[in-house]
Structures are given as structure tokens and as C-alpha cells.
Copies of this chain bind each other. A is one copy, B any other.
Amino acid sequence: MQQSPVPPEPPIYRRIADGLRQAILSGDLRDGDRLPGENALMATHGIARATARQALSVLINEGLAVPKRGSGVYVRQFRPIRRHGSRRLSRDGWGRGEAIWDSDTRGRPYTVDEVEIDRETAEEAVARVLGGPEVWVRRRRYSVDGRPVQISVSHFPAGLVEGSAITRPDTGAGGVYARLGELGHLPAHFTEEIRARMPHPHETVLLDLPAGTPVIAIARVAYTAEGTAVEVNEMVLDAASYVLQYDFDA
């Protein structure tokens, strides 16, 4: 027999988490504020340490809070960078238009570290697109305000770029696209595939990600006007640091 549909109370740790989330979303607790720690929750709610931790871990895994060992748990800050897809690469569009989401539009300066260039055998999917497994690979990491925000792994068909500046750390003015143009392979079309997922452990290290932060993975393929694929660029972005924008016509 069905009992009356009693809404079953959520467990303690969840009720506590809900309360704290409310405080964050309503603005009672703001960016960088410290929230009550394990000891405080144990005392005020009369619960065991493990239960208090469980409540906090909910918020941490939701990306709303960041723990600092030996110090406390703090409200996560969110101040994303805007990355333009089609507009950035296109010959300026029709568009201005107001944005829905907040972001730092003033171009913040970014630095590149960890440049690494190698000749490698590409994995299957990349080899298929580029028409062969022999590639030059450029690995880079971008940081803004001293914080890493993006990893980029760029593949070029080895036969196409052999000997050019693309195989050297300094690509010269205009970057790799200018060099590709000089080689007669100027990119004309782009395809970007976008996914979001939780980071792999090695990405967590490279991007210095706190728990509860997803990453955005972008696979960009550059084609010449003739339709030859000349670059496959796999990027991994700290999702908390980015808003992507694409503009296009009907």
C-alpha cells in the first residue's frame, strides 16, 4: 500500500549544503568570503566531522567553493575571459550586440609558457584528418594574471611545414598562420568541436584546477580554401575562466 506521499527529508549534509548554497547565491556570502568550516558546522549542527565534510564537499564539487588547506573554505570567484570564435577570426562581422553574461571584455594580457615543439606520430583521429600520421606538434600553456587558463596542442602535417619557422619556438611576426600563408596554405575555413567534461588528473595539475571545475575541450581544424586540413589544434580551457562566443548568419 502506498503511504501518503511524504516528501522525504533530504539528509542532514544536504540540508546544510543547501543552506550554504543559498547564502552564496543570494549574495550573503560573496566572492572570496570564508564559509563556516568543519569545526563550526560540527558545533552549530551537532554533527560528526565526516558529515560536516560531506556538506562542504557538495559545494566544492559544485564549483561554488574552494578549500584552502590549513585555512578554510572560501567562496569561489568567477571572472571569465571572453573568447570569440567566428568573430575573432573573421573579417569583422555585422555585429555589435549586448552580451548576456558578464565577462572581462578589456583584453587582459596573457603570457605563454611551456612552449614545446616535437616531431611525433599523431594519434588516429588526428592522422585521419590531416591525411597522415607524421606531424609537428606545438604545445603551449596560456596564463592570465599569472594563472594558467588554457593548454593548447597544435598539430601540423610534417611534410607541409618541414623546415619552416613553425618547427621552431619563435614563429615570427603573424604567428603560424602567417607562415602557413607563405607556404601557400593559408587557412580559410575552420571547424571547432566543443565538449565539456571533468578534467583528467594531468590537466588538473597543468591548469591548477580546484575540485569541481570542469574543462572545455575544443578541437579546431583549419582548412585551406581548397579544403586541405593544415592544422588540428586541441585546446583545454579552464571552464571557470572562459565564456565562448560565436557569431554567425542565418
Query: CB within 8 Å of B: which residues of A?
Result: 18, 21, 50, 61-64, 80, 85-86, 89-91, 93-95, 97-101, 125-126, 128-129, 186-199, 201, 211-212, 214-216, 219, 221, 223, 227, 229, 232, 234, 239-240, 242-250
Residues of B within 8 A of A99 (CB): 193
Q: Least Cβ distance of A103 to chain B in Å?
A: 9
Question: In the bound complex, how far is the Cα of B90 from the Cα of A195, in angstroms?
Answer: 21
Q: How far is the CA of A185 from the CA of B35 in the complex (A)?
A: 49
Are B125 and A100 in contact, CB atoms less than 8 angstroms apart? yes
Total identical chains: 2
Contacting pair A250 B89 (CB below 8 A):
yes
Q: With A97-B223, A194-B194, A197-B239 known to touch, is A188 a contact of B244 (CB < 8 Å)?
A: no
Main secondary structure of the interface of A (DSSP, over half): mixed
- In the assembly, what is the distance between CA of A63 and CA of B195, in Å? 13
Do the beta carbons of B61 and A198 come within 8 Å of each other?
A: yes
Q: What separation, in Å, do the CA atoms of A202 and B38 have in the docked complex?
A: 26
Q: How far is the CA of A214 from the CA of B214 in the complex (A)?
A: 6
Closest residue of chain B to A126, judged by CB? Answer: B100
Q: Across the interface, do A189 and B98 meet the contact criterion of CB distance under 8 Å?
A: no
Give the residue of B187, B196, B227 whose beta carbon is less than 8 angstroms from that of A250: B187
Contact A248 B190 (CB under 8 A): yes
> Which residue from chain B places its CB closest to the CB of A232 in the assembled complex?
B100
A100-B232, A189-B94 given as contacts; is B128 within 8 A of A243 (CB)? no
Looking at the complex, which one of B91, B97, B193, B227 makes contact with A245 (CB distance below 8 Å)?
B193
